[in-house]
């Protein structure tokens, strides 16, 4: 089975100065890997003719396929097309289908058509034009000396459309690739090194074509088993045996046996039990509710949220007592208990999450340093409160606090309502 390799080249000065975050490479790598095509290198370069020419030659010498994004816009700094003409010793010609699509797009929106928009229909004559149904700049497919080059717009939505409709299917038809199967276990509550220590003998007996990867993210640890084989069915069957053992070994810290978000994990539990949830958030500022509602269909179990950042709002909206705040402060077990009770009543939900903390970098004290977080989760019959001491920057502390809070509710739901589990 031949191993097919790809180089991903992202073009644009904005990528090098950090003005734009490169999400294209990560998405393409995931899609290619799922097909059994391996990303050999990822390279980011600016809008410089000499750099584009040099990178194309260098990556084609190393990889079977070179995928490029960026530099195809209507402005003067977008130089990819003329540079491709130089590389492939060809010239720009007008593609009539692209021109018609551009004209229709502007006319249907009642916008004036500029020459620079018309010039989007110019493509290298040596290219096979790939329609861009989501924008004006088409994709372009080249083949030379057994190597494939594809140039696509840098706009993620447009790039994904071209990849999904044309590039990925054509690459799959062009190459004979191995079957690749992934299975991911999500855990929480134990550090990467301690989990690895528990799995020493498990990893030692894995066959060469099955690999275990550790993927830490905030307070979660993803364990991904990847298997290579000749066909999907037999490969998946073999991998499932090892995954079952992995899950059993880590049953005490397992969160989910697929690569899904905490919002989806929590949503699935609630949906199976026909229960509802709401949140009373202070330090997380609505992050927990945004993660829950990021899942389609979450209206079936999520009723609402109160973001009570100030003490006044904690009292006014959730009924937290002034005496409680005066005696114990906003970041305390007593306050989150009252926030939880208020959320259950105000939002009229079966379960709720309440959270209050000091995310930093300011606001801490000797008694309550930055990173102190109190979480309360529960229903009208039982609640659990937990205190965490986080030690990172504001963004990471907030993300971790949200994950911890959702996981605490997950554990309580499983304790109170274990029925209906897979």
* pLDDT tens-digit series, residues 125-154: 999 999 999 988 999 999 999 999 999 999
Break the chain down into helix, strand, coil percent, rounded to 5: 45, 25, 30
The whole-number pLDDT of residue 247 equals 97
The whole-number pLDDT of residue 1 equals 54
Predicted TM-score of the model (pTM): 0.81
Tell me how far apart the alpha carbons of residues 320 and 280 are, in angstroms, rounded to a whole number.
Answer: 11
Domains with residue ranges and CATH for the chain = 4-174 (3.40.980.10), 179-256 (3.30.70.2860), 262-416 (3.90.950.20)
Tell me how far apart the alpha carbons of residues 234 and 173 are, in angstroms, rounded to a whole number.
Answer: 21
The whole-number pLDDT of residue 107 equals 87
Residues in the chain predicted with pLDDT less than 70, given as ranges, are 1-2, 419-422
* pLDDT tens-digit series, residues 253-292: 999 999 999 999 999 999 999 999 999 999 999 999 999 9
Phi, psi torsion values for 112, nearest 5 degrees: -70, 150
* % of the chain with per-residue pLDDT over 90: 87
Positions of E strands within 146-282? 147-152, 179-188, 210-217, 220-229, 254-256, 277-281
State the CB neighbour count (10 A cutoff) for residue 170.
Answer: 15
State the CB neighbour count (10 A cutoff) for residue 226.
Answer: 16
Orientation angle between helical segments 262-273 and 394-416, nearest 10 degrees: 20
Q: How far is CA 367 from the centre of its chain?
A: 37
The whole-number pLDDT of residue 117 equals 85
- HSE-up of residue 166 (Cα within 13 Å, Cβ side): 18
End-to-end CA gap in the chain = 37
Q: Are 154 and 23 in contact (CB under 8 A)?
A: no
The whole-number pLDDT of residue 57 equals 97
* pLDDT tens-digit series, residues 53-91: 999 999 999 999 999 999 998 887 789 999 999 999 999
């Amino acid at each position: 089975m031949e191993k097919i390799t790809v180089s991903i080249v992202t073009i644009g000065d904005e990528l090098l100065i950090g003005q734009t975050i490169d999400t294209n490479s990560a998405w393409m790598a995931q899609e290619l890997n799922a097909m059994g095509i391996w990303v050999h290198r990822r390279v980011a370069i600016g809008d410089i003719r000499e750099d584009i020419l040099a990178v194309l030659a260098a990556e084609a010498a190393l990889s079977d396929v070179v995928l490029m994004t960026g530099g195809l816009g209507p402005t003067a700094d977008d130089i990819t097309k003329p540079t491709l003409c130089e590389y492939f010793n060809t010239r720009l010609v007008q593609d009539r289908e692209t021109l018609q699509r551009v004209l229709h797009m502007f006319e249907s929106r009642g916008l004036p058509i500029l020459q620079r928009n018309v010039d989007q229909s110019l493509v290298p004559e040596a290219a096979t034009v790939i329609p861009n149904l989501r924008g004006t700049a088409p994709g372009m497919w080249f083949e030379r000396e057994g190597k494939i080059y594809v140039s696509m717009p840098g706009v993620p939505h447009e790039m994904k459309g071209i990849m999904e409709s044309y590039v990925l299917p054509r690459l799959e038809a062009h190459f004979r690739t191995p079957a690749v199967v992934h299975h991911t276990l999500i855990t929480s509550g134990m550090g990467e090194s301690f989990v690895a220590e528990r799995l020493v003998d498990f990893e030692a007996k894995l066959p060469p074509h099955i690999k275990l990867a550790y993927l830490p993210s905030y307070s979660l640890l993803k364990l991904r088993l990847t298997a290579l084989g000749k066909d999907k069915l037999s490969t998946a069957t073999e991998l499932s045996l090892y995954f079952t053992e992995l899950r059993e070994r880590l049953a005490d810290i397992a969160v989910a046996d697929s690569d899904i978000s905490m919002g989806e994990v929590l949503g699935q539990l609630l949906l199976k039990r026909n229960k509802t949830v709401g949140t009373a958030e202070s330090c997380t500022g609505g992050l927990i509710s945004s993660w829950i509602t990021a899942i389609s269909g979450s209206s079936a179990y999520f009723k609402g949220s109160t973001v009570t950042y100030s003490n006044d709002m904690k009292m006014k909206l959730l009924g937290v007592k002034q005496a409680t705040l005066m005696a114990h402060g906003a970041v305390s077990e007593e306050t989150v208990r009252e926030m939880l009770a208020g959320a259950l009543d105000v939002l009229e939900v079966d379960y709720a999450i309440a959270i209050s903390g000091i995310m930093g970098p300011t606001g801490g004290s000797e008694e309550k340093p930055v990173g102190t977080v109190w979480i309360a989760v529960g229903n009208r019959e039982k609640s659990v409160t937990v205190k965490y001491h986080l030690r990172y920057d504001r963004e990471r502390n907030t993300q971790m606090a949200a994950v911890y809070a959702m996981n605490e509710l997950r554990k309580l739901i499983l304790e109170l309502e274990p029925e209906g589990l897979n």
